[in-house]
Amino acid sequence: MPVVEITQLRLKGLSANDPALLESLSQVRSKLQSNSRFFSCIDESSLIYIFGFWPSLHAHLKFLASPARDEILGPQEAILDFQWTIHLELDATTPQLFDAPFLAIERFDVDAANIEAYSQVVVDHARKLRSKDRGPLGVTYAWRCDLPAGSHESAILTTWSSEGHGSTEAGRHITLDHDDGGSFRCTLSHRAWNIEHTQSGA
């Protein structure tokens, strides 16, 4: 099944607006043919998000274990520090989802006993977001597919097109109502702007 790789990187010695960053990221994309998209975090400007598209989880893991990994990604170590990578199954989502100028990503740990209830909460959450008058919104969610058995994590991805919403309202409303039982826990909530389509997220 196709997967999207979400990788978080931290900038070293340059800003997201520096042309050298986009040049480096674009070179890697060209070599990997991963059709990646690049976002700069609004909430923490030193962070970069890469969304890469792979035919399967195995295909990406095979690359990471190969000698080609150091050859292709090695030059980026001078400007970027690796933070983490997750993989989501997004069979109904195309790379065009990530062409939006702005994006929000949220990660949730979910107890195994509450997966069904959580899924319904997310469906209701996405419907409410789409019904709000905040400009065009794309809302999707998916389960992480690279965890050991018994562990469950999902991510909600929301895109929008207006800078005003990106810097103020929209990202701060992408939050699930938690129950007192702690059946799911938000571990990340960031808004970001598309490095190739937006001059700044400020």
The predicted-structure confidence for 3-61, as pLDDT tens digits, reads as follows 999 999 999 989 999 999 999 999 999 999 988 999 999 999 999 999 999 999 999 99
Predicted pLDDT of residue 167 = 43
Predicted pLDDT of residue 198 = 66
Predicted pLDDT of residue 87 = 96
Q: Give me the architecture of the 3-89 domain, per CATH.
A: 2-Layer Sandwich (3.30)
Amino acid at 200: S
Mean pLDDT of the region 120-132: 75
Predicted pLDDT of residue 90 = 76
Q: Do domains 3-89 and 95-194 have the same CATH topology?
A: yes
Residue 111, pLDDT above cutoff 80: yes
Please tell me whether residue 40 adopts helix, strand or coil conformation. strand
Band (134; pLDDT cuts 50, 70, 90): low
Residues 6 or more apart from 99 whose CB is under 8 A from it?
Answer: 37, 194, 197
Question: 56-59 — which CB contacts under 8 Å span 24+ positions?
Answer: 56/1, 56/2, 56/3, 57/1, 57/3, 57/87, 57/145, 57/146
Residues 6 or more apart from 120 whose CB is under 8 A from it?
Answer: none
- What is the DSSP-derived secondary structure letter of residue 36? -
Q: What is the pTM of this model?
A: 0.86
Mean pLDDT of the region 112-139: 75
Residue 106 sits at φ, ψ, to 5 deg, of -130, 140
Would you kindly state where each structural domain of the chain is located, as residue ranges? 3-89, 95-194
Residue 69, pLDDT above cutoff 90: yes
- As a whole number of angstroms, the distance between CA 13 and CA 22 comes to 14
The CATH topology of domain 95-194 is Alpha-Beta Plaits (3.30.70)
Each residue of 136-179: pLDDT tens digit? Answer: 567 888 899 999 999 999 998 888 876 555 444 444 444 555 55
Mean pLDDT of the region 116-129: 79
Predicted pLDDT of residue 174 = 46
- From the list 96, 88, 67, the residue with the least C-alpha distance to 147 is 88
